[in-house]
Structure 1
Amino acid sequence: MNLFSTDDHARYRAEGQWGELTLPEMFAATCARVPDRLGLVDAPNRAEIFEGAPRRLTYAQMRAEVDRYAAILQAQGIGPGALVATQLPNISEMILIYLAVSQIGAVLSPVSLAYRSAELHDLSQVAAFDAYISVGRFKGQDYFAERNDALPDSVQRLGIGDGLPAGVTRIDTAAPGKPPAPVALDADDIFAVFWTSGTEGVPKAVPKTHNNMMSSSLGAWRLLNLPDGTNILGPFPFVNAAAMGGLLMCWMRTAGALILHHPFDVAVFLEQLKSEEIGYTMVAPTILTYLRDQARDPDLHPALHRLMSIGTGSAPPDPEVFLFFEETFATPVVNFFGSNEGAQMCSSCERVPNPRHRASYFPRDGDENWDPALRTANGGTFRLVDPTTGDLITEPGGLGEMHLHGPALMPGYYSRQGIDRSKFTEDGYFPSGDLFQISDCGTLIRFHARSRELIVRGGMKIAPVELDNVLSALPGVREVAVAAYADPHMGEKVCLFAVMEPGRGLDLPTVTAFCDDAGLAKFKWPERLELFDALPRTPLAKLDRKALAGWLAQQGAQNA
């Protein structure tokens, strides 16, 4: 199935960005090449997160487990084209199930572990899930049971671990009756459907083919220059294209061990750095700063020396931290900017030698109006376009919205009705909503702002409109709106502005209890409440959310 134009299909194959290799075929080749090499390692706190002792699997053991899960899924009637939603923590079973779903030609749809019944219900309305796989219990609490009723009756329910509700088929302890049946796979078929936070409340579904994933990882892997057998520590949930492309796919290309971690626990993370032979990891900027502050620890010092590179992203990092790691450990910090839809900027030493610049700037590689021979980290190109006039931005200092094109770009948004390309331009570019500014030297670009109103809390994106809609049902409120306020640790947090009916009051504990009852993911809960007499409006009577954010920023400046 070809979801892309004939021209794009031919071009990306001619450039070597696309080919015939699928992810299951890449995994099978690695298992055949290095069967006895360590391939997958659970976090030492696995029993606290899920259950059971941590597992350490070789590639041969992984191969056998993936085949077992593939046969079990096939026995449940799951096959090519079936959409399989998963909500799984970073445990070895998650990786094995991902690979098994792909091996049988089904389509993976990883969902954030933080999402609760409200979000899962919304996702199931956008895309018709054929099956759902999750854990019975997570961190000692019922997990599957809370989400069970959010799924349509037509969804096949499969699970792992103890505590699964009645009617859910347990697959981690099942024995297949026969080996998995071979399935013909196509690199142009959809590998996974990822989920954005969207700008209108309900997340959008982003399909990615095997070739999309291959190209999204190829450039980053080359820029990181990780040798064969490199061990990778993955402290992010494997639910979006960034983590899957930047960590999982790099692991598949290096064929070392994937050391699992998440939910993030700094003590466990440090233990893994010290005890495992880690060559690469990716962390949030706040953790990068923490590692710098802990660098004098005699047990941690050798671990930091072993790191060949450290990746970061999702929030503005401290330039001095980049300089520190390069000067102290000769370990380059690589800055990433990406999106599910297909953006990928990578500031490597090769393209941005100055470590301080690398924290803020990305190479202009891929700008079709600068050097058409260059490509972004994932092999793509872009244009910078004035969002008001539509004019191309080409001069130093210019600011424009990034319009994307390339082999890692999604074919369109996914839904029950099919692939939706209505957000694309007539000539096939995707307006990303991200504003970038060309540097004064003209060779670099810097992320400026989001033209859409997403709140980013610790790397998790929150759609304000979604929260507005939910919180408008709070008792006694006349109108509500949320906006972001700055936080030194999380980047941004959510503030709720409420206009109350006469004689009614509201406090933050009431708001959080309401969010809990609504089944809303905790990272979305407001952590600050402001009561106003009226919400600011634009001349067209629309909510002026920028005015609310400006008020918060002013309050923060006054209190600094």
Structure 2
Amino acid sequence: MSVFSAADRARFRAEGHWGDVTLPAMFAATCARVPDRLGLVDAPNRAEIFEGAPKRLTYAQMQVEVDRYAAILQARGIGPGSLVATQLPNIAELVLLYLAISQVGAVLSPISMAYRSAELRDLSQVAEFDAYISVGQLRGQAFYAERLDALPDHVQRLGLGEGLPEGVFRLDTADAGDSAPVPLDADDLYAVFWTSGTEGIPKAVPKTHNNLMSSSLGAWRLLGLPDGANVLAPFPFVNAAAVGGLMMCWMRTAGAMILHHPFDVTVFLTQLKTEDITYTMVAPTVLVYLREQAQDPDLHPALNRLQAIGTGSAPPDPEVFVFFQDRFAIPVVNFFGSNEGAQMCSSQERIPDPRQRASFFPRDGDEAWKPALRTANGGTFKLVDPATGATVSEPGALGEMYIQGPTLLPGYYSRNGIDRSKFTADGYLPTGDLFQISDCGSLIRFHARSRELIVRGGMKISPVELDNVLSALPGVREVAVAAYADPQMGEKVCLFAVMTPGHTLDLPAVTAFCDRAGLAKFKWPERLVLRDALPRTPLAKLDRKVLAKWLAQQGDIHA
């Protein structure tokens, strides 16, 4: 039974956003069309992360392995409706198992490798897993063993590689018969993803085949990648953005997916230089590093082969966008998205100015502006004043984004069913993301998470706005601001900065920079902390709450 209403299914099909093709059907069609084309490539450091020599598989070889895993899963009683949790690094087996789980009609639930027994126990309370798949060892250390007891007794324990605990069935060496075909529907659930858990226990986000098909269309169309384009994938495949964006872009281009993660800059550069990469997506701090390394003549051919670079998850430095466009004619595409279904894409076609593209997104999809337009993934939104609940539409106005459309989840998933209590009566999902309409009226800019605003003496400060401005400080690799308590003003701003080698920074230099930038004084950072790295959530997003918590623990100590 579909988790979406008949009216939604009919509407999104009529609009051309949904269809009847499932992910296994798309993969099978590619295997039949280009069986001998290279399809999947392990990172060269596979043996350090997991075990065994790196795999390089054609589509025909992938299909054989997917069918084998599907047969093994079916023999274990896993089939339509089974919920299969996976906790896997970016190795070839991850992709093969994702496809096999879907092929037998089961529902995938990928979990971050950073989660340990406490988090796994929490997730098991929200969703009733039927099976769990992970690796025996990671980087030479036991991985599965400490998670074993966090799973309820009824959950099948399945694993890959050496060092699996007793009682865990090993998949990669198991004998397999033939897999039985399973009728699939594009409106069936494909996966249950997990939010980052920054507001408590992560929420479970169910997505259908059609949800993911439509979520991938925006990036694929805007990037304009040719048939056979190779994609370098340095993000973990645990959320809708990575699966619906990177993995689905790969499935649509039918080239090779070059796997990478955990992120290692040396390995990443080696892959860029030695593989024929057309597209990759990286965090803003990696963009800065690539700019620093661009003087390396061995890297020039690799950069010249790239047709686009995607970025997201944190405010990027606009000058980096300018650098890659002017020096290598590479358009950097800025993405903003969520597991729940938001997707903004700032491409060169839609926003030619690279500096604008680093901060702004097309206003397409705003129902109060031009109702016929849609966001990159076919959705619409409205901006709502958090205080009054009124829709805002004027240039300069600020509002919380409420979304709807073909990529929107049907509701949060739990063992008790689909929960739509967070939705409005007319079917919108409030995202908690504040966006501001540009002065020109045709663009929008992410302002802040509504719960992250810094309030200094009654004046509200967007941490994202400051991140954007301060990312241009000379010598910084990445920056983030957070609030700390002040008895007179309530809150003040602290800047955390990660410096490039050979550079340093002090607070007078920061205030002088803010002065030159014409930034209102109440927004100026009044503390500075230099760090080796910024904290990240398991989904690789900046974890500003960790910074705020650290500041709270420091008390009145001034940096």
Q: Which residue of 2 aligns with 1:394?
A: 393
Q: Which residue of 2 aligns with 1:50?
A: 50
**Residues 49-198 of structure 1 mapped to structure 2, 5 A cutoff:** 49-176=49-176, 178-198=177-197
**Aligned mates of 1:7, 1:485 — CA distance in 2:** 49
Q: Which residue of 2 aligns with 1:362?
A: 361
Q: Which residue of 2 aligns with 1:342?
A: 341
**Aligned mates of 2:45, 2:184 — CA distance in 1:** 36
Report the residue type matching 1:167 in the other structure.
G
Instruction: Identify if the C-alpha distance between structure 1 residues 486 and 167 changes in structure 2 by more than 3 Å, giving closer, same or farther.
Output: farther
Q: Which residue of 2 aligns with 1:408?
A: 407
Q: Which residue of 2 aligns with 1:221?
A: 220
Report the residue type matching 2:426 in the other structure.
D
Pairing partner for 2:497 from 484, 488, 494? 488
Q: Which residue of 2 aligns with 1:260?
A: 259
**Aligned mates of 1:371, 1:170 — CA distance in 2:** 55
Equivalent pairs: percent with the same residue?
74
Q: CA deviation at 1:6?
A: 2.9
Task: State the aligned residue count.
Answer: 486
Counterpart secondary structure, 1:149: helix
**Aligned mates of 1:408, 1:530 — CA distance in 2:** 38
**Aligned mates of 2:417, 2:437 — CA distance in 1:** 37
Report the residue type matching 1:289 in the other structure.
V
1:208-261 Cα deviation digits (max 9, x unpaired): 000000000011100000000000000000000011111000000000000000
Given that residues 87 and 134 in structure 1 are in contact (C-alpha distance below 8 angstroms), is that contact kept between their aligned partners in structure 2? yes
1:182-232 Cα deviation digits (max 9, x unpaired): 000000010000000245410000000000000000111000000000000
Report the residue type matching 2:157 in the other structure.
R
Q: CA deviation at 1:452?
A: 3.1
Q: CA deviation at 1:10?
A: 1.4
Q: TM-score under structure 2 normalisation?
A: 0.83
Counterpart secondary structure, 1:400: strand
**Aligned mates of 1:89, 1:371 — CA distance in 2:** 43
Report the residue type matching 1:488 in the other structure.
A
Given that residues 194 and 205 in structure 1 are in contact (C-alpha distance below 8 angstroms), is that contact kept between their aligned partners in structure 2? yes
**Aligned mates of 1:399, 1:531 — CA distance in 2:** 29
**Residues 247-286 of structure 1 mapped to structure 2, 5 A cutoff:** 247-286=246-285
Instruction: Identify if the C-alpha distance between structure 1 residues 11 and 252 changes in structure 2 by more than 3 Å, giving closer, same or farther.
Output: same
Q: Which residue of 2 aligns with 1:303?
A: 302
Instruction: Identify if the C-alpha distance between structure 1 residues 314 and 484 changes in structure 2 by more than 3 Å, giving closer, same or farther.
Output: farther
Report the residue type matching 1:381 in the other structure.
T
Q: CA deviation at 1:156?
A: 0.3
**Aligned mates of 1:429, 1:128 — CA distance in 2:** 27
Counterpart secondary structure, 1:359: helix
Given that residues 196 and 206 in structure 1 are in contact (C-alpha distance below 8 angstroms), is that contact kept between their aligned partners in structure 2? yes
Q: CA deviation at 1:484?
A: 10
Q: Which residue of 2 aligns with 1:501?
A: none
Given that residues 48 and 139 in structure 1 are in contact (C-alpha distance below 8 angstroms), is that contact kept between their aligned partners in structure 2? yes
**Aligned mates of 1:337, 1:253 — CA distance in 2:** 21
Structure 1: stretches of 5+ with no match in the other structure: 465-482, 491-520, 534-547
**Aligned mates of 2:550, 2:359 — CA distance in 1:** 32
1:495-532 Cα deviation digits (max 9, x unpaired): xxxxxxxxxxxxxxxxxxxxxxxxxx9x9896785677
Structure 2: stretches of 5+ with no match in the other structure: 454-462, 468-476, 484-491, 500-539
Counterpart secondary structure, 1:410: coil
Given that residues 295 and 301 in structure 1 are in contact (C-alpha distance below 8 angstroms), is that contact kept between their aligned partners in structure 2? yes
Give every structure 1 segment of 4 or more consecutive aligned residues whose post-TM-superposition deviation is greater than 4 Å: 453-459, 483-486, 523-533
Q: Which residue of 1 aligns with 2:511?
A: none
Given that residues 286 and 489 in structure 1 are in contact (C-alpha distance below 8 angstroms), is that contact kept between their aligned partners in structure 2? no
Report the residue type matching 2:228 in the other structure.
G
**Aligned mates of 2:261, 2:198 — CA distance in 1:** 27
**Aligned mates of 2:133, 2:16 — CA distance in 1:** 35
Q: Which residue of 2 aligns with 1:473?
A: none
